[in-house]
Amino acid sequence: MKLAFSTLGMPGRPLSEVVRLARTHGYDGVELRAHPEEPVHPGIGAAERAAAAGEFAAAGVEILAVAGYAQVAAPEPDEVVLAELDALVRLAGDLGARYARVFPGGGDRPAGEADATAARRLGALAPLAADLGVHIVLETHDSHRRAQDAARILGPVGHPNVGAVWDVLHTWLGGEEPALTFPALAPHLGYVQVKDVASAEDVAPLPLGSGVLPLSECVRQLSREGWDGWLCWEYEKRWHPQAADFGQLAGPGREYLLGLLAGSGAG
Protein backbone atom coordinates (compact mmCIF):
# COMPACT_ATOMS: atom_id res chain seq x y z
CA MET A 1 0.00 0.00 0.00
CA LYS A 2 1.07 3.61 -0.55
CA LEU A 3 0.93 6.36 2.07
CA ALA A 4 -0.32 9.94 1.80
CA PHE A 5 -1.41 12.76 4.06
CA SER A 6 -4.07 15.45 3.78
CA THR A 7 -3.30 19.16 3.82
CA LEU A 8 -6.04 19.54 6.45
CA GLY A 9 -3.10 19.04 8.80
CA MET A 10 -1.31 22.08 7.33
CA PRO A 11 -4.11 24.61 6.76
CA GLY A 12 -3.19 27.47 4.45
CA ARG A 13 0.47 26.47 4.15
CA PRO A 14 2.35 27.03 0.86
CA LEU A 15 2.69 24.08 -1.49
CA SER A 16 6.47 24.21 -1.10
CA GLU A 17 6.07 23.31 2.59
CA VAL A 18 3.66 20.51 1.78
CA VAL A 19 6.02 19.04 -0.80
CA ARG A 20 9.01 19.36 1.52
CA LEU A 21 7.19 17.58 4.36
CA ALA A 22 6.14 14.73 2.07
CA ARG A 23 9.68 14.28 0.76
CA THR A 24 11.32 14.58 4.16
CA HIS A 25 9.20 11.83 5.67
CA GLY A 26 8.84 9.57 2.66
CA TYR A 27 5.14 9.92 1.87
CA ASP A 28 4.16 8.79 -1.62
CA GLY A 29 1.42 11.36 -2.12
CA VAL A 30 -0.76 14.15 -0.77
CA GLU A 31 -4.50 14.81 -0.63
CA LEU A 32 -4.97 18.52 -1.36
CA ARG A 33 -7.84 20.28 0.39
CA ALA A 34 -9.56 22.13 -2.49
CA HIS A 35 -10.92 25.21 -0.73
CA PRO A 36 -10.38 28.97 -1.29
CA GLU A 37 -8.44 29.08 2.00
CA GLU A 38 -5.81 26.88 0.35
CA PRO A 39 -3.30 27.45 -2.48
CA VAL A 40 -5.15 25.02 -4.76
CA HIS A 41 -8.91 25.21 -5.38
CA PRO A 42 -11.27 25.33 -8.39
CA GLY A 43 -10.94 29.11 -8.67
CA ILE A 44 -7.25 29.17 -9.61
CA GLY A 45 -6.19 29.63 -13.23
CA ALA A 46 -4.37 27.46 -15.73
CA ALA A 47 -0.91 28.84 -14.91
CA GLU A 48 -1.34 28.19 -11.18
CA ARG A 49 -2.60 24.68 -11.87
CA ALA A 50 0.36 23.90 -14.12
CA ALA A 51 2.80 25.30 -11.55
CA ALA A 52 1.29 23.22 -8.75
CA ALA A 53 1.32 20.04 -10.81
CA GLY A 54 4.90 20.71 -11.85
CA GLU A 55 6.09 21.30 -8.29
CA PHE A 56 4.75 17.96 -7.10
CA ALA A 57 5.97 16.10 -10.18
CA ALA A 58 9.47 17.52 -9.82
CA ALA A 59 9.58 16.30 -6.24
CA GLY A 60 8.28 12.84 -7.11
CA VAL A 61 5.24 13.28 -4.86
CA GLU A 62 1.87 12.29 -6.29
CA ILE A 63 -1.24 14.43 -5.94
CA LEU A 64 -3.49 11.64 -4.78
CA ALA A 65 -6.72 13.64 -4.64
CA VAL A 66 -8.34 17.03 -4.54
CA ALA A 67 -10.70 17.02 -1.58
CA GLY A 68 -13.67 19.15 -2.54
CA TYR A 69 -16.83 20.10 -0.71
CA ALA A 70 -19.56 19.40 -3.24
CA GLN A 71 -22.53 17.67 -1.60
CA VAL A 72 -24.03 15.33 -4.15
CA ALA A 73 -27.25 14.57 -2.24
CA ALA A 74 -27.93 18.16 -1.15
CA PRO A 75 -31.33 19.75 -1.86
CA GLU A 76 -29.82 22.55 -4.00
CA PRO A 77 -30.78 22.68 -7.70
CA ASP A 78 -28.98 20.22 -9.94
CA GLU A 79 -27.29 22.93 -11.98
CA VAL A 80 -25.60 24.35 -8.86
CA VAL A 81 -24.23 21.02 -7.65
CA LEU A 82 -23.30 19.81 -11.14
CA ALA A 83 -21.35 23.02 -11.79
CA GLU A 84 -19.41 22.50 -8.55
CA LEU A 85 -18.72 18.88 -9.45
CA ASP A 86 -17.63 19.83 -12.95
CA ALA A 87 -15.16 22.42 -11.62
CA LEU A 88 -13.70 19.96 -9.11
CA VAL A 89 -13.24 17.19 -11.67
CA ARG A 90 -11.55 19.57 -14.09
CA LEU A 91 -9.22 20.77 -11.33
CA ALA A 92 -8.26 17.18 -10.55
CA GLY A 93 -7.65 16.51 -14.22
CA ASP A 94 -5.43 19.57 -14.62
CA LEU A 95 -3.38 18.60 -11.57
CA GLY A 96 -3.01 14.97 -12.60
CA ALA A 97 -4.84 13.81 -9.45
CA ARG A 98 -6.46 10.43 -9.70
CA TYR A 99 -9.33 11.25 -7.29
CA ALA A 100 -11.81 14.07 -6.68
CA ARG A 101 -13.41 13.72 -3.23
CA VAL A 102 -17.04 14.73 -2.63
CA PHE A 103 -19.48 14.50 0.29
CA PRO A 104 -23.03 13.07 0.46
CA GLY A 105 -24.71 16.02 2.23
CA GLY A 106 -28.17 14.46 2.27
CA GLY A 107 -29.13 16.07 5.55
CA ASP A 108 -32.62 15.15 6.72
CA ARG A 109 -33.92 14.23 3.27
CA PRO A 110 -35.61 10.83 2.96
CA ALA A 111 -32.91 8.24 2.24
CA GLY A 112 -34.39 7.10 -1.05
CA GLU A 113 -34.68 10.65 -2.35
CA ALA A 114 -31.14 11.54 -1.27
CA ASP A 115 -29.73 8.34 -2.78
CA ALA A 116 -31.43 8.88 -6.12
CA THR A 117 -30.34 12.52 -6.33
CA ALA A 118 -26.72 11.67 -5.56
CA ALA A 119 -26.62 8.75 -8.00
CA ARG A 120 -28.09 10.89 -10.79
CA ARG A 121 -25.55 13.66 -10.30
CA LEU A 122 -22.56 11.36 -10.00
CA GLY A 123 -23.68 9.47 -13.09
CA ALA A 124 -23.97 12.72 -15.02
CA LEU A 125 -20.33 13.66 -14.28
CA ALA A 126 -18.87 10.18 -14.71
CA PRO A 127 -18.18 10.52 -18.48
CA LEU A 128 -16.23 13.75 -17.96
CA ALA A 129 -14.25 12.15 -15.14
CA ALA A 130 -13.42 9.19 -17.36
CA ASP A 131 -12.29 11.47 -20.18
CA LEU A 132 -9.93 13.29 -17.80
CA GLY A 133 -8.62 10.18 -16.07
CA VAL A 134 -10.22 11.14 -12.76
CA HIS A 135 -12.28 9.10 -10.31
CA ILE A 136 -15.00 10.89 -8.33
CA VAL A 137 -15.02 9.35 -4.86
CA LEU A 138 -17.84 9.72 -2.33
CA GLU A 139 -16.60 9.87 1.25
CA THR A 140 -18.34 7.88 3.98
CA HIS A 141 -19.51 10.98 5.83
CA ASP A 142 -22.49 12.89 7.29
CA SER A 143 -25.79 11.48 5.96
CA HIS A 144 -24.05 8.40 4.48
CA ARG A 145 -21.32 7.66 6.99
CA ARG A 146 -21.52 3.86 6.79
CA ALA A 147 -20.35 1.82 3.82
CA GLN A 148 -23.81 0.32 3.42
CA ASP A 149 -25.20 3.86 3.07
CA ALA A 150 -22.65 4.90 0.43
CA ALA A 151 -23.19 1.65 -1.47
CA ARG A 152 -26.87 2.54 -1.96
CA ILE A 153 -25.66 5.46 -4.09
CA LEU A 154 -22.68 3.88 -5.80
CA GLY A 155 -24.35 0.64 -6.81
CA PRO A 156 -26.95 2.31 -9.05
CA VAL A 157 -24.30 4.59 -10.62
CA GLY A 158 -22.35 1.55 -11.74
CA HIS A 159 -19.52 3.48 -13.38
CA PRO A 160 -15.82 2.61 -12.91
CA ASN A 161 -14.90 6.29 -12.49
CA VAL A 162 -17.25 6.80 -9.55
CA GLY A 163 -16.21 5.23 -6.25
CA ALA A 164 -15.72 5.76 -2.53
CA VAL A 165 -13.35 7.04 0.13
CA TRP A 166 -13.47 5.04 3.34
CA ASP A 167 -13.18 7.51 6.23
CA VAL A 168 -12.43 5.21 9.16
CA LEU A 169 -13.73 7.71 11.71
CA HIS A 170 -17.18 8.01 10.19
CA THR A 171 -17.82 4.32 9.65
CA TRP A 172 -16.76 3.78 13.27
CA LEU A 173 -19.08 6.55 14.45
CA GLY A 174 -21.83 4.81 12.48
CA GLY A 175 -21.23 1.60 14.44
CA GLU A 176 -19.87 -0.31 11.45
CA GLU A 177 -16.97 -2.74 11.93
CA PRO A 178 -14.19 -2.91 9.31
CA ALA A 179 -15.22 -6.49 8.55
CA LEU A 180 -18.57 -5.11 7.35
CA THR A 181 -17.25 -1.91 5.79
CA PHE A 182 -14.76 -3.41 3.40
CA PRO A 183 -17.05 -5.91 1.62
CA ALA A 184 -19.63 -3.19 1.04
CA LEU A 185 -17.07 -0.73 -0.34
CA ALA A 186 -14.72 -3.17 -2.08
CA PRO A 187 -16.27 -2.82 -5.56
CA HIS A 188 -15.99 0.97 -5.29
CA LEU A 189 -13.01 1.67 -3.02
CA GLY A 190 -10.62 4.39 -4.15
CA TYR A 191 -8.58 5.07 -1.01
CA VAL A 192 -8.81 4.97 2.78
CA GLN A 193 -8.60 7.94 5.15
CA VAL A 194 -7.05 7.04 8.49
CA LYS A 195 -6.94 9.18 11.64
CA ASP A 196 -7.27 8.80 15.40
CA VAL A 197 -9.43 10.40 18.11
CA ALA A 198 -10.01 10.06 21.85
CA SER A 199 -13.71 9.16 21.72
CA ALA A 200 -16.95 9.66 19.84
CA GLU A 201 -17.48 12.82 21.88
CA ASP A 202 -13.94 14.17 21.40
CA VAL A 203 -12.87 13.94 17.76
CA ALA A 204 -9.91 16.34 17.94
CA PRO A 205 -7.05 14.73 16.01
CA LEU A 206 -4.50 12.62 17.87
CA PRO A 207 -1.25 10.98 16.78
CA LEU A 208 -1.99 7.72 14.99
CA GLY A 209 -2.26 4.80 17.39
CA SER A 210 -2.94 6.91 20.48
CA GLY A 211 -6.73 6.94 20.19
CA VAL A 212 -9.63 4.52 19.91
CA LEU A 213 -10.14 4.00 16.18
CA PRO A 214 -9.70 0.42 14.87
CA LEU A 215 -6.74 1.23 12.62
CA SER A 216 -4.93 -2.09 12.98
CA GLU A 217 -8.17 -3.97 12.37
CA CYS A 218 -8.81 -1.85 9.28
CA VAL A 219 -5.35 -2.50 7.82
CA ARG A 220 -5.60 -6.22 8.60
CA GLN A 221 -8.94 -6.36 6.80
CA LEU A 222 -7.54 -4.60 3.75
CA SER A 223 -4.48 -6.85 3.68
CA ARG A 224 -6.49 -10.02 4.21
CA GLU A 225 -8.55 -9.16 1.15
CA GLY A 226 -5.48 -8.33 -0.95
CA TRP A 227 -6.35 -4.67 -1.35
CA ASP A 228 -3.30 -2.67 -2.47
CA GLY A 229 -4.35 0.98 -2.56
CA TRP A 230 -3.64 4.17 -0.62
CA LEU A 231 -3.84 5.00 3.07
CA CYS A 232 -4.18 8.76 3.58
CA TRP A 233 -3.72 10.31 7.03
CA GLU A 234 -6.33 13.02 7.44
CA TYR A 235 -5.15 14.99 10.48
CA GLU A 236 -7.93 17.54 10.93
CA LYS A 237 -5.99 20.42 12.47
CA ARG A 238 -8.00 22.90 10.36
CA TRP A 239 -11.02 22.28 12.62
CA HIS A 240 -8.97 21.90 15.81
CA PRO A 241 -6.24 24.60 15.87
CA GLN A 242 -5.21 23.59 19.38
CA ALA A 243 -4.06 20.19 18.11
CA ALA A 244 -0.36 19.38 17.95
CA ASP A 245 1.62 20.52 14.93
CA PHE A 246 1.31 18.01 12.10
CA GLY A 247 4.88 18.58 10.98
CA GLN A 248 6.14 17.03 14.22
CA LEU A 249 3.84 14.04 13.87
CA ALA A 250 4.26 13.24 10.17
CA GLY A 251 7.38 11.11 10.58
CA PRO A 252 6.18 9.01 13.54
CA GLY A 253 2.78 8.66 11.85
CA ARG A 254 4.33 7.17 8.73
CA GLU A 255 6.37 4.77 10.87
CA TYR A 256 3.22 3.73 12.71
CA LEU A 257 1.44 2.97 9.43
CA LEU A 258 4.45 1.06 8.12
CA GLY A 259 4.37 -0.98 11.32
CA LEU A 260 0.71 -1.82 10.80
CA LEU A 261 1.42 -2.84 7.21
CA ALA A 262 4.36 -5.00 8.25
CA GLY A 263 2.31 -6.67 10.95
CA SER A 264 -0.52 -7.39 8.54
CA GLY A 265 1.76 -8.85 5.87
CA ALA A 266 1.09 -5.95 3.48
CA GLY A 267 3.71 -3.84 1.75
The pLDDT, as a whole number, for residue 264 is: 73
Q: pLDDT, tens digit, for every residue of 28-84?
A: 999 999 999 999 999 999 999 999 999 999 999 999 999 999 999 999 999 999 999
For the chain, the average pLDDT equals 97
Q: pLDDT, tens digit, for every residue of 164-175?
A: 999 999 999 999
- What integer is the mean pLDDT of 189-197? 98
What pTM was estimated for this model as a whole?
A: 0.96
The pLDDT, as a whole number, for residue 265 is: 64
Ordered by where they begin, the domains of the chain are: 2-264 (3.20.20.150)
Cβ(75)–Cβ(111) under 8 Å? no
The pLDDT, as a whole number, for residue 21 is: 98
> Is residue 266 pLDDT above 70, yes or no?
no
Tell how far CA 96 is from the center of its chain.
16
What is the share, in percent, of the chain residues with pLDDT greater than 90? 98
